[in-house]
Amino acid sequence: MGIFEDFITEYKAEITKTASHEGILKLINETADILFQTKMLPSKELKEAFNKLKTRAEEPMKVAITGQFSSGKSTFLNALLAKNVLPTGITPVTSKVNYIRYGGEFSLMVKYKDGRESFHGIESINSFTDQRNSIEDIDYLTLYAPLELLKHIVFVDTPGLNSQSFSDTQTTEEVLKEVDGIIWLSLIDNAGKMSEEETLEQYMHSYQNKSLCVLNQKDKFSPEQVKTTAEYIKNSFKKYFAEVIPISAKQALESRSCEKQIMLDSELKAALKKLETDIAANAYEIKEEFVQNAMSSFSKAASNIAKSPSKDELLKESNIEAVLDFIHEEIKPIAIDSKEFAITHEIKRLLSDLIEQEEKLISVFEELEEILNRCEDETKQIYAELKNRFSTNLNESYLKIEEIIDKISSEILSNKTSAKRVRYTKKRAFLGGYEPFYYEAVKINSDEIYKKLFFDDDLIGKSFKRYLNSLKNIQDEIERENAAVFKALEEKVSKWQKPYELIRKSKSVQSDIQFANMRKFASKGYENILKPFNDKMAANFAKMSSEFRHVSAGIKFNYQNATEVVVAFLERRIEKSIQLYEENPTKFSIYEPKLDEIRERLRTSFHLYEFQNMMKGGRNFIAKNYDTLLEEFLKIKEERLKLIAEHKAEYVKLRNILNSLLDTAARFIF
């Protein structure tokens, strides 16, 4: 039984931790079952990530083959595959990651960056791996081979770590993070050079426990040279590698793929191909020398094959058995633990990314809540100041009405005159008859009053026009101040809104739909938050404006009529008193209006007490309006906070689910 067969037999016999393996699959599946529920709005990237984790949990351990360019990585893998499958050469040709997996037959799968897959024969692999070709749209390659070894190990051929292409180096870095073991290929004559040490220091310092250094091309040097170099590398690079093993990939490949009969068949085919080429080059003229040359070449090759070492000798000389022993004895025991640790760590990372997403979205709503709560305090203060200021203005405005009424009262009184009147009484003499009795009576000069107050001088008309303008100024200032309150709120909400209209996920596995929903909510900041405030403030101001119009109209259309009513009343009262006086002068006196009476009559006719209730004191219509406005503002704020809380609660619920999953993953024992 060969060493490869021995390796497989021992591997099968020592598979352990079956229960733990089932545990990690259970953790993956149960976590995925919850994360993929519709309410979680999972992204396709998250599903892909968990599919990869499941595949990784179920698949064999991965061993990466890496190193500097032209270190013999492909030759080494060809030796393991017992077939010259991977391209080799002096130029760096492997520019894509090649996964070598078990398959029923040799085949090649090409995975493109757009998700497409295509299958080909392995003979076409060169066209998909040579970086000198146009292969930018290829993501990676998978080579399937019917080798028992590959049922338990997936080999990963990498572009290398000192590529001139940054993307190739970056790709290799990502591969090294996810594999269970690393084989670093280095040519013996290049080993230990400063350029290699710099590369190791930069990329390999974290993988010592799972890394093996393989020094290739030992067949080119003496045993002493190989031993000296291996010991030097082992001592110098012990922080990078658990072991250093010199091999000959060429000898290993020959031992695996070059049975003497196969070698003879290959040389015969080459000789016949050469003969065919010579004949074709000479217009298909067969010359004896062509045949002799072909036979001579084949004879020489056959002689060399006959003298070449046997398969087993070459295999032993190659020292590749030591590499397989390292994989079996060093990498395999920690592969399961490291894989499950890595998978658990990745699950926790994915959950942390999703928790970060929920916390970010929650913070967006909390920021909006803070804006509204802060606006409550600010609005209370502003409305209290405006209420006080405009109530004072309105009270002063009311006092101006009283001043104008006082002025009208004084003007009426100043146009009070007296006129001599006569009444006749019976004489006491025997002959009888009547005798005149002269007296003075009050007279109101209404024409002069109206002329001065409303017509020629229009003193009162001008006063009330100025007064109505002052009322309009108060109303306009209230409108500006109220608009400023809304503007301040609008600016805060708009400042909140702008960045979140464009919010995008920061991690690929996060939910596209959740962030799209947040962008939609933010873009409707006016409808969701501002519109109810604006509508209520507009309705409130409309009501206040109506009350201003009521006051203005009451004053505008009432002041002249009230004056005329009072003057007419005084005139009737005077006439009535004269009539009574003339009938019975001892019982009745002639009425003479006083200033206080005129003022009170004007107040009543002017409906001043109605205006007083509206405009004076702590319950004036502006004060009541601001009280109502604040009450409605707070009510809307609570309604908006309730709406925000309902949205936020969904994300809090999701975060709690994710935190529970994270706790479960953290408690997983492997």
pLDDT digits 0-9 by tens, 529-544 = 999 999 999 999 999 9
Are 66 and 98 in contact by the 8 Å Cβ rule? The answer is no
Least confident of 6-15, 393-402, 506-515: 6-15
Residue 3 has pLDDT above 50, yes or no: no
d(CA 468, CA 477): 14
* Res. 464 pLDDT band, cuts 50 70 90: confident
State which of 273, 305, 334 marks the end of a domain.
334
Would you say residue 167 has pLDDT above 70?
no
299 lies in some domain: yes
When pLDDT is averaged across residues 53-71 and rounded to a whole number, the result is 81
Rounded Cα distance between 37 and 354, Å, is: 14
CATH number of the domain within which 186 lies: 3.40.50.300
* One domain, residues 201 and 113: yes
Share of the chain above pLDDT 90, in %: 33
Q: How far is CA 468 from CA 397, 452, 460, 475, in A?
A: 9, 20, 12, 11
Tokens of 347: 């699950």
pLDDT tier at 12 (50, 70, 90 boundaries)? very low
Mean pLDDT of 421-430: 70
Out of 4-8, 176-180, 555-559, 569-573, least confident range: 4-8
Domain limit, last residue, from 334, 366, 394 = 334
Distance of CA 405 to the CA centre of its chain: 67
Same domain, residue pair 279 and 193: no
pLDDT level of residue 17 (50, 70, 90 thresholds) = very low
d(CA 117, CA 76) in angstroms, rounded, equals 27
Query: Across residues 111-140, what is the average pLDDT?
Result: 78
The residue from 300, 334, 368 where one domain ends is: 334
Does the pLDDT value for residue 94 go beyond 80? no
**pLDDT at residue number 528:** 92
In the predicted structure, residue 385 carries a pLDDT above the cut 90: yes
Is residue 142 domain-shared with residue 240, that is, in the same domain?
A: yes
In 3D space, the residue among 616, 614, 547, 559 whose CA is nearest the CA of residue 404 turns out to be 559
As a whole number, mean pLDDT of residues 282-287 equals 66
In a shared domain, residues 175 and 307? no
Looking at residue 531, what is its pLDDT? 94
More confident residue, 12 or 522: 522
**487 or 175, which is more confident:** 487
Query: Do 509 and 653 sit in the same domain of this protein?
Result: yes
Taking residues 662-669, what's their average pLDDT? 85
Residue 362 domain-assigned? yes
User: Is residue 300 domain-shared with residue 353, that is, in the same domain?
Assistant: no
Residue 340 within any structural domain of the chain? no
* pLDDT classification of 163: cutoffs 50, 70, 90: low
Query: What is the total count of domains within the chain?
Result: 3
Asked if residues 252 and 315 have their Cβ atoms less than 8 Å apart, the reply is: yes
Output the pLDDT for position 90.
39
- Average pLDDT taken over every residue of the chain: 83
Least confident segment among 7-11, 263-267, 297-301, 409-413: 7-11
pLDDT in tens, 565-587: 999 999 899 999 888 988 888 88
Which of the two residues, 219 and 280, has the higher pLDDT score?
A: 219
Confidence (pLDDT) at 516: 96
pLDDT at 13 over 70: no
Q: What single DSSP character describes residue 175?
A: H
How far from chain centre, in Å, is Cα 248?
A: 54
Q: Would residue 341 count as lying in a domain?
A: no
Lowest mean pLDDT among 126-135, 228-237, 312-321, 412-421: 126-135
Residue 160 has pLDDT above 60, yes or no: yes
What would the pLDDT profile of 643-664 be if each residue is shown by its tens digit?
Answer: 999 999 999 999 999 999 999 9
Amino acid 133: pLDDT: 60
Backbone φ and ψ for 437, nearest 5 degrees, come out as: -135, 120
Claim to verify: residue 232 and residue 273 sit in the same structural domain: no
Q: Is residue 624 part of a domain?
A: yes
What residues make up the domain containing 264?
259-317
More confident residue, 291 or 421: 421
Question: pLDDT band for position 313 (50/70/90)?
Answer: confident
Predicted TM-score (pTM) of this structure: 0.61
Q: How far is CA 255 from its chain centroid?
A: 58
In a domain, 300, yes or no: yes
Helix (H, G, I), strand (E, B) or coil at 213: strand
| Per-residue pLDDT reduced to its tens digit, 466-484 | 888 888 999 999 999 999 9
Are residues 415 and 309 located together in one domain of the fold?
no
Same domain, 303 and 330: no
Confidence band for 85, pLDDT divided at 50, 70 and 90: low
**pLDDT over 90 (residue 325):** no
Angle at 368 between CA 527 and CA 352, to 5 degrees: 120
**Where does the pLDDT of residue 361 fall: very low under 50, low under 70, confident under 90, or very high at 90 and above?**
very high
Residue that wins the pLDDT comparison between 128 and 634: 634
Indicate whether 585 belongs to any domain.
Answer: yes
Q: Does the pLDDT at position 89 exceed 60? A: no
How far from chain centre, in Å, is Cα 360?
A: 7
Higher-scoring residue by pLDDT: 262, 205: 205
Confidence of residue 8 (pLDDT cuts 50, 70, 90): very low
How many Å is the maximal CA-CA distance in the chain? 197
Looking at the predicted structure, is the pLDDT value of residue 48 above 50? yes
For residue 359, pLDDT beyond 90? yes
Where does the pLDDT of residue 202 fall: very low under 50, low under 70, confident under 90, or very high at 90 and above? confident
Share of the chain above pLDDT 70, in %: 86
Q: Is the pLDDT of residue 91 over 50?
A: no
Structure tokens given for 159: 């572009």
Kindly report, residue by residue over 233-247, the tens digit of the pLDDT. 888 888 888 889 999
Task: Looking at the structure, tell me whether residues 363 and 507 fall in a common domain.
Answer: yes
* 24 domain-assigned: no
Domain co-membership, 157 together with 226: yes
**Which of the four pLDDT bands, split at 50, 70 and 90, describes residue 515?**
very high
* Alpha carbon distance 398, 563 (integer Å): 18
532 and 389 within one domain = yes
- Does 15 have pLDDT greater than 50? no
Return the structure tokens found at 395: 């009270």
Type of residue at 173? E
